[in-house]
Every structure is written in C-alpha cells, then in structure tokens.
Amino acid sequence: MRRLAALALLALLAGCQEAAPPPTPAARSMVGQPYELGGMWSYPKEDFAAAETGLASALPDRASGRRTANGEIFNPGELMAAHRTLQLPAIVTVTNLENGREVRVRVNDRGPQNPARLIGLSSRAASLLGLPAGGAAQVRVVVDAAPSRALAGQLPSTERVELAIIAAPAGTVERESLAPLDGARQSSRLREAPSRGPAVTTVADSNPGLPPNPLPEQVSQRPASPGRLVLEAGSFFRRDLAQRQAARIAGLGARVEQRGSGRSAQYRVVAGPFASVAAADAAFAGALGAGLPEARMTVE
C-alpha cells in the first residue's frame, strides 16, 4: 500500500508540472517561400546586387523581444528593417532622398504590412533617417554585397543543400624498370633543377567576416535628391501586351513607355507622377484592386 501511495503521489506531481516550452528557433540564413501579406503576394529571392527606390515607413513595433522571420530578436532601438523579398538577414544602405541622410540597417524580417512600402524600418533607424512620425519618405535601398554574403555563408540554414561528393576509386599503378636499349647511352648524372625555397601559396580571404550585430549608428549626409512618385504596373517585350495592361488601370492615367529599341525594346506600364504619398497610396490600392499584383511604387 505504501508503494502504491508513493507512485500515486509521483504521478500527481508530474501532472502538476508545466509542459516544457517549445524550443525557440535559432537565428538563421533564409530566403523562404512565397507568402501573402497585406493583400499582395511576395516572392523572396536571393539578390546581392539589389538597388531599389520607393517609400519607407517605420514599423509599428514598439517593444523588443519578438522573433523575426529568420529567428532573430527584434529590437526597435537597433538598426533593423523588414523587406518583402530580400534574403534574410541582409545588410542594406538606406538613403532618405528627401534629406540626404543615410544609414546601414540589418534586414531580418518580412514586411512591411503595407505593400506600397518598399521597406519598414525600426523606430531608431526611422528616427536617424528623419522619417516623419507616422508618415513615409522617399528612399533608395542598396544591398551591401560583402557583409550580406558573409551572413549567408556563415549562418546556419535549413534551405542549403549539401551535395555529397564521392571520389572515384584510384587504380593501382605498376611500374617496371627496363634495361637500356643496345647502343643507348645513359647520362652519368642527372640534371637537377636549381634549389628553391618552399613554395608558399597565399589564399586571399574572400570572406570579410560577419558584420557587427547590432550595427553601429553611423549616419552619413548626402545631397538631398527627391524624385517623382510613379506607379509601375509591369514591363513587357510586346507593346500590345503593355497596352492591354494599361487599359486595366486607365482610370489611374496609366500609359505605356518604351525603353530601348529594336529587339531589345521593353514597354513599361506606368501611372503618375503623384503629388503626394496619399495620392500614390490610393493609386496603388486601385492597381491591386484591378488585379495587378506586380505593381510597385518607385521614385524617379
């Protein structure tokens, strides 16, 4: 009876213990699968030469602690950002075209929620760039290739496929010394190459190492260069297809612009420029409502 009572007590204590929380994901390098956010599908891809223009706004996060898409800890007080398609994490340089301020940020999350925005910035990054509170600003976003490649190469990844390479078996090589032919002369001594020191091979370090985390707050000042807000709704190699696309958003004043000539000519469907961010947002919403998921806002 005592043994049964002890077993019952142990079972009761085990039931009272809380279940262990699931392990949190570790920071990793990733690209990810297509996803829908804010009524628009995005298709992530690896691009170390990306250079884009568009609108930036501050992310709504006001507290730190949540996990980003690639498993890192979000901190609004650090220089972090969200992008819809870039590999994670990536180091990018963001320039506010309206005032010339420039900072480097670590892109480690998906977003922003508003599909008319190119990039979402942590509150600290938005403050350093001088973004208006609750508003948006014209920006240029350029991927810093070297540190971004270092992150992709050194952080663990569940998407990287390791190929097993099996060496072919080496056959046995047999040698046999033959007697010299009749009449042939053998040199009494061998020529020796001049003595040289041991060969030294220098391998250049192509990996610059991981960038600091968090990134330092270094603000550069460039000349301000604001542009025009334009909605781009697709690019085609045939004019008739571009005209058909433009007709779908004719109410936005869409038109077809040709770039290049001959066989290299491309036909771009654009609308605008728009006098304000509000007008650009309204046009973007109209394009999505017309079923044009490839629409994007650019600065020209």
pLDDT confidence tier of residue 10, bands split at 50, 70 and 90 = low
Instruction: Tell me whether residue 106 is in a domain.
Output: yes
**269 in Cβ contact with 256 (< 8 Å):** yes
**Does 10 fall in a domain?**
no
| Weakest-pLDDT range from 50-64, 174-188, 209-223 | 174-188
CATH code, domain with 63: 2.40.40.10
- E strand map for 90-241: 90-96, 101-109, 119-121, 136-143, 220-221, 229-236
In a domain, 147, yes or no: yes
Shared domain for 75 and 221, answered yes or no, is yes
Residues 67 and 98 in one domain: yes
Q: What mean pLDDT comes out for the span 81-98?
A: 98
- Widest Cα–Cα separation across the chain: 107
pLDDT at 190: 36
Give me the domain span that covers residue 248: 228-300
User: Which residues sit opposite 145 in a β-bridge?
Assistant: none
Considering the domain architecture, whether residues 152 and 236 belong to the same structural domain is answered as: no
**Preceding peptide of 112 cis, ω within 30°:** yes
| Better-predicted residue by pLDDT, 17 or 235 | 235
State how many domains the chain has.
2
- Strand, coil or helix: 214: coil
Helices (H), 213-275: 239-248
**Mean pLDDT, the chain, whole residue set:** 84
* pTM summary value: 0.77
What is residue 266's predicted lDDT score, i.e. its pLDDT? Answer: 95
153 and 37 share one domain: yes
Mean pLDDT of 244-272: 94
Please, is 127 exposed, middle or buried when counting C-beta atoms within 10 Å of its C-beta (0-12, 13-18, 19+)? middle
Question: Residue 194 domain-assigned?
Answer: no
Q: Which of 97-111, 165-179, 260-274 has the highest mean pLDDT?
A: 97-111
Domain with residue 287: its CATH number is: 3.30.70.1070
Do both 100 and 69 map to the same domain? yes
